[in-house]
Structure 1
């Protein structure tokens, strides 16, 4: 594959970042340096680490960045749960975002296994 942009996991995670930004722009202004910032940063980290890992020379390095990416995904899922618990998002918003994040999670796990099997 010639570019990380062709990776479906990168594309899906980019869509997730966009959705996170759309939802968090409705969070209270006092959260701009709190939960809003944390959710945005953790979501941005997912496709960023996929892209960075893709650019590394070895599969071992790529796997390390995929692991960082999934850690950021878990962080984002936790922050979504917090946003739901304090009523910044409703159950429907949470469920939609969480399901999207679970899809990306499954894709990263599957892609990681595929790379490991190739070695």
Structure 2
């Protein structure tokens, strides 16, 4: 599926939702007197969606990849702070929420990793570098791949009909 705006990206939606939830959650009184913990947690959570958005808007695959790794790093930072909070007695009554936020940030990190892995295997430099020739080559490669997948499927179907052997 092709996305035209970062707001359409499922991973951005998940990250933005996590940030909004973290902001609401960390306004509780238990966070008072804990230094910059709430503020740092909020900033790290917000950084995930912001880096996804900035990378998406940059226009090159290499810049998008860099910002996806920044976003993934921020998801790790959120998890790290939640793990530390889990070890602090002051947050014992929030263990369930902490666990839930850790799971959400892990899920986001996995989504980002999957997207980054798929981007590393494409031959297009990004929107900023697209011209009619590079787009034609890219589209031709996609059509060729789709054609080869159809042939593979036809061979597999024929193999099943003949009991596994194709002569």
Same fold (TM over 0.5): yes
Where does residue 64 of structure 2 map in the other structure? 62
Where does residue 24 of structure 2 map in the other structure? 22
Whole-Å separation in 2 of the counterparts to 1:74 and 1:2 = 27
Question: Is it true that 1:109 corresponds to 2:113 in the alignment?
Answer: yes
Whole-Å separation in 2 of the counterparts to 1:61 and 1:76 = 23
Whole-Å separation in 1 of the counterparts to 2:38 and 2:26 = 6
RMSD: 1.3
Q: CA deviation at 1:2?
A: 1.3
Paired residues, number = 118
SS in 1 for 2:116: helix
Which aligned runs of 4 or more in structure 1 are off by greater than 6 angstroms? Answer: none
Whole-Å separation in 1 of the counterparts to 2:107 and 2:53 = 18
Q: CA deviation at 1:30?
A: 2.2
Question: Is it true that 1:98 corresponds to 2:102 in the alignment?
Answer: yes
Higher relative contact order (CA 8 A, sep 6+): 1
The structure with more radius of gyration: 2
Name the TM-score, length of structure 1 as normaliser: 0.92
